[in-house]
Amino acid sequence: MAVFHNLAVAVNRLSCSSRHTNNSSSSRAKVHELDTFDGTDPKKLRTFLVQCKLCFQDRAKAFRQDRARVTFTQSYLKGMMLEWFELDLLNSGNPADRPRWMDSWVHFIAELQSTFC
C-alpha cells in the first residue's frame, strides 16, 4: 500500500510540475487545484468529477485518451477510494487481464458510482 501511495504522490507531483511548465507561457485561465476524494461523503463525488472535467477541458491535449483521464483521476483518490482500486492497479501487468474501467472513462465513472454512491 505504501508503494502505491508513493506512486500516487509522484504522479500528482509530476502532474503539478507539468501544469506549471505548460501554464507559464500560456495566457489561458488557471483552473483551481483539484481536491482529493476519499469516498467518506458520497455527495462530494459529483463535485470531484466536475473538478476533474474542468482539468480535462483546461488541458484537452493531455486528456484526449480515456486512460489518461482515469490515471489522473486516480491520482487524486485517497483512503478507501484508493484502496478499492489498488489491487487492480498493482496487478495490471497483462493488458488482457485489466478491468475495463482502467481504459474507459465511462466504465471508471460507473465503477465509482456503483461502489460509492
pLDDT at residue 24 tops 60 = no
pLDDT band at 116 (very low <50, low <70, confident <90, very high): confident
Read off the pLDDT of each residue in 7-30 and give the average, rounded to a whole number.
58
pLDDT at residue 11 tops 90 = no
pLDDT tens-place string over residues 51-96: 999 999 999 999 999 999 999 999 999 998 899 888 888 876 777 7
Q: What is the pLDDT of residue 94?
A: 73
Q: Is 15 helix (H, G, I), strand (E, B) or coil?
A: helix
Helical packing angle, 79-90 and 2-23, nearest 10°: 100
Question: Alpha-carbon torsion 113, 95, 57, 30, what sign?
Answer: positive
